[in-house]
Structure 1
């Protein structure tokens, strides 16, 4: 049976080992890592999946902002990484973590959600879309179609031009 726990209950070394196994040690060069560099994850929206005492998955969320060209800053929550141990991938654990985070976000998120991910998957199962993000910019390389967002907890998505970065 899989138990969902606050990520803060898990040893950081175990989380890093899982992320290395899921994404490789070169993951730090990715655009998503550049955006959240130096920040702490949002505890109320970051979870671990544990089975038989072993960490098998994690989801982390980060406080970021859309900085409009007019100088306005709109708080957002960046979702990811969603990581599942390679030996149990395709077992629904990532979907379970996402659903749990989205339920918590309906009460805890202080901004709309954004992520870099597969639009077919995250759109179909979780309501993320690239409609509002077309004029957004990120530091580093990314595919525009993979920059996704979703309103949550009454927070609306900024639609104008702007750059995503730390709050």
Structure 2
């Protein structure tokens, strides 16, 4: 069994090591990391899952972003990711638990929408669909830009460039 808790400051290095293990140290070169620079993750939604020995077996983080359409319209959203599960616990459903539980918390805290860059067949089971007209910094494959409304219609008619929240 796993115990989920908000990521604490003391967890940072262990979580970073998990992300490096799962995605490689070059992960920070991805375009989504440009949106995370100099921005703190959303503390209430950044979770760790500890195994019975107290080791971090999985982690998920969320970041505040804006979708800017024109000069006067910006819509807040959450950028999900990264989510990682230690290789010794992959296939146990822990990634799904982290995603579902954190999405529930985000909805309860009033966030209207979530987006990510990922594999559509995997994330479809959590209610994510391709976002047409929402553009991530290059180079990002537009087919991998996915979103989920946490409130009805939250993605309706939203288009534009994803930017960092200042």
**What TM-score do the two structures reach when normalised by structure 1?**
0.91
Q: 1:157 to 1:10 in 2, by over 3 A?
A: farther
Aligned partner of 1:19 in structure 2 is 19
Residue aligned with 1:53, SS:
coil
Aligned partner of 1:108 in structure 2 is 109
Asked if the contact 1:58/1:83 (under 8 Å) is kept, the reply is yes
Q: Which runs of 5+ in 2 are unaligned?
A: none
Residue 87 (structure 2) pairs with residue 89 (structure 1): no
Residue 152 (structure 2) pairs with residue 151 (structure 1): no
Q: Which runs of 5+ in 1 are unaligned?
A: none
Instruction: Write the distance in 1 (CA, Å) between the matches of 2:129 and 2:108.
Output: 21
Bigger helix share: 1
Question: What is the aligned counterpart of 1:140 among 133, 138, 147?
Answer: 138
Aligned partner of 2:60 in structure 1 is 59
Instruction: Write the distance in 2 (CA, Å) between the matches of 1:160 and 1:83.
Output: 29
Q: Which moved more, 1:138-147 or 1:23-32?
A: 138-147
Superposition RMSD on alpha carbons, in Å?
Answer: 1.6
**What TM-score do the two structures reach when normalised by structure 2?**
0.92
Residue aligned with 2:8, SS:
helix
Alignment coverage as a number of residue pairs: 164
Q: Which moved more, 1:4-13 or 1:85-94?
A: 4-13
Residue aligned with 2:72, SS:
coil
Residue aligned with 1:102, SS:
helix
